[in-house]
Structure 1
Amino acid sequence: MASNEVVVDGEVVHCIGCGAAVQTIDKNMIGYTPESALKKGLENGEVYCQRCFRLRHYNEIAPVSLSDDDFLKLLTKIASTDSLIVYVVDIFDVNGSMIPGLHRFVGDNPVLLVGNKLDVLPASLKKNKVKDWLRQRANAAGIRPIDVELISAKTNFDIDRLLDQIEKYRKGKDVYVVGVTNVGKSTLINSIVRQSTGIKELITTSRFPGTTLDRIDIPLDDGKLLVDTPGIIQPEQMAHHLVGKELKLVTPQKTIKPKVYQLNPEQTLFFGGVARFDYNSGDKKHGFTVYAENNLYIHRTKLVNADAFYASHVGNLLTPPSEENKTNFPPLEMHEFKTTRKSDVVIEGLGWVTVPADVVVSGWAPKGVSVLIRPAMI
């Protein structure tokens, strides 16, 4: 136990927003809470660290001193438990949501795979198709889930069904909720708590990666625990390259409205300045359907001019990234595909473009962010 941790009645006090041990000494360390705020929080039974307070009330994010290794150490303890693992992924960023070597963290415990953010997918997308695709992606990553559920933690869609499935599969065991940062784990747990107790927004949530800093234990009716674990930092996520308001322009906030662009060969679409799509070659003009955040600026230009256009306009016309962030933004890398059937070119964390058969296309994304091709979902 660290000497600066606040102890009441022999128990270390934890922030109920992020799980960090509360301390009143060092403003730059996790868990810092001013004495006055601590006193007030103890009186009303809701102690929040200053970071969570600012995040909840002002949407400000403060840097923290917890490293990737600290996150991993917290998660490796799960393998020795006898529990149900609820593994949350972002339907819109499945590759970026996958935890490399998940089996090392969960051991022999059963895994219930949960696809979150269903609310942003177009209604024309069939749920069973999405479930099958999610299971295939999990299997390819070496994960064999006992079941797959689709939810929207934000809108509470199918939370009741998920609760029933958790109860069915946990068989009286503790439940650990795991996932990479920014997939909506804490939003999901808040929904579960709200459905069960009526308490709103117990756990700090935001669009910023890495909001939960330590495990948060929530008692279940039978004395077992629902545990929110810190999200594993996944550097390949698009969200890690964006700041503040930029995230809102890239992460879908509402149901996506598909946009169709009629492109000739050797034409390019820019998605702000964060990604790019090229129609390299094909026998004629084709319609390409874009599925991305409705407010993201999309600009069409000629392929021959694309590199120069990007260099001239990234950070102003092509935004995000902002002018301030463009020097920190990774260069875009090209991924070329030749299609043999109707397919989706997926730029992880941003969306996808549905393309026809027998064309050559390229998807560009920040270095490290995945671009992949799959059979068309719609």
Structure 2
Amino acid sequence: MDKVLNYTERLAYLQRRITELETMSSALDALPETGKRAGFFYQVLQQVDVPIFIQDNAHRFVYANPPYYKMMGLTSEHLLGKTVRDLYNEPLASELWNQEDVILATGKSREYEAEVECQAESRRISIRKSHLLDPKTHHAYLVGVVSDITVQKRMENLREEVDRITRHDLKGQIMSLVNIPRLLRISGNLKEEQLELIQMLEDAGIQMLDMVNTSLNLYRMETGLFNYTPSQVDLVSIVYKAFYFLGNTMEQKHLSLEVKLDSEIVDCGQKFFIIGDDLLCYSIFYNLLKNACEASPSERKILIEMFNAESKLIRIHNDGVIPEEIRKTFFDKFVTSGKRYGTGLGTYSAKLMTETMGGTIDFSTSNELGTTIFLRFPNNHSHH
């Protein structure tokens, strides 16, 4: 963990140094003699404790400071006057060359990652290259700042492996815990107290399963690691699957469910497709419908309406009201009100997952009309 924190601090430091280097030309112009200016600039680069290099407009390396030589395991004889085509094999050489061409053509800084050989070892590095124009000669240069992110990437891969184990192993065990109470209930001959205990076990298992799914997906989306592969998802089946797991809550509060498609009650076998991710859709609707059941007064109806339009519109309505104090932060992380075991992740995760699929989410609430959640999803694969 310390290494990750050090990397974050180092990256912030690099960004500050880059800004200083990009603005240094004007400061150096204040020095009267060219020799003094060059000497000052050289000393600055030599003293900076991060790897830095400079290339000319022909892609040739014309300077590198000691930290760069040390990281890359090179000497000036092996680097200066060379280009990335001399130093690296294909396709990496062409990828780096093309990045440099874009910077020289646009004058805009770029940051990217590459897998390179450093001292006979494969390392993952982050490179930020900036365009620098000499005001006297009008020659263009590339100033590169490098950071070794190998440790960070290894930790990310380790986290992915832990996620995989969690998803396949832990979820399987939880599903067993969820199914056992149902089998016991079917067998009969149980007292009321025993049925209550079984129900508590089943509810706890469902909650654990939902927490595992939500935490894994949230982490991946928040860190940009989620692999979103859109496909057709039938929301009618997703909704009924979610309500199956919410059946006990609905039964205890004597709630009913009504699902409409284009203002008509959904018939058996009807489908409503959107472009999205099956697991994300289930998490979204399970959390939103769970909230609707918990917020609704007893003996009322939960209404879900789906509309085929320019975009796919879904409305989820219940007769409860969102408390005034959380309305402005309703979709924020860890916001909850009046729930004994609430985590405050339900609406936050629903918003994050909806936006990951290119959709939007909003709500309206009042004492007179209750609460309605509005979800809109695109009709095509344009969002990736």
Query: Which TM class, normalised by the smaller chain length?
Result: under 0.3
Q: Which has the larger radius of gyration?
A: 2
Whose relative contact order is higher, 1 or 2, with alpha carbons under 8 Å and at least 6 apart?
A: 1
Normalising to structure 1: TM-score of the pair? 0.27
Larger proportion of helix: 2
